[in-house]
Amino acid sequence: MSLTLGEKEIILSSIRDIPDFPKAGIIFKDISTLLSNPQALDTLMTHLENRYQNYDLDYVAGIDARGFIFGSILADRLGVGFVPVRKKGKLPYTTVAEKYALEYGFDEVEVHIDAFGEQKGARVLLMDDLIATGGTAKAAASLIGKVGAHCVEACFVMELAFLKGREGFSAPVYSVLEID
């Protein structure tokens, strides 16, 4: 299922560009304007619901923090569970962690050790708002496997294609909007 040009325009025109945030030379893609636009949000979520309704998913896992928004809405629409993939130290129970490289240093993401229940091989869709270099998403996909589930696809609202974040990804990658 692909978006029509009109649907793409509805979504894309609802995303605000913020120049020089968080630092000079970066154009930040602000999704708060997408979230506050009911037509754009419904267009996006209906598209994702239609795409994933026959994937036989057990869970949607959303990456901290904007992936929580889209992922939880999609999980609700699909009638499956939602699992948060959090930054280190934010989850209250026993966790499994995965480190990933940043431009300068490392960061970590975590999930609860029982995030996907006792069902081995649970089918999981990984969701976030944006894929840039892919470090966080690749770490999150690795975590899904570490706790015995299977990442069937990674889905992003936007992809900064010029950063090649999808290269070397362990699961198929789908992005609603590609930005060059």
Active-site positions read: 66, 103
Query: What torsion do the CA atoms of 98, 99, 103, 105 make, to the nearest 10 degrees?
Result: 160
**Would you call 86 helix, strand, or coil by DSSP?**
strand
CB 127 within 8 A of CB 74: yes
H helices present in 23-158, as ranges: 32-35, 38-52, 66-78, 135-146
CA dist., res. 141 & res. 138, Å (int): 5
Q: 56 is written with which tokens?
A: 């036989």
CA dist., res. 143 & res. 136, Å (int): 11
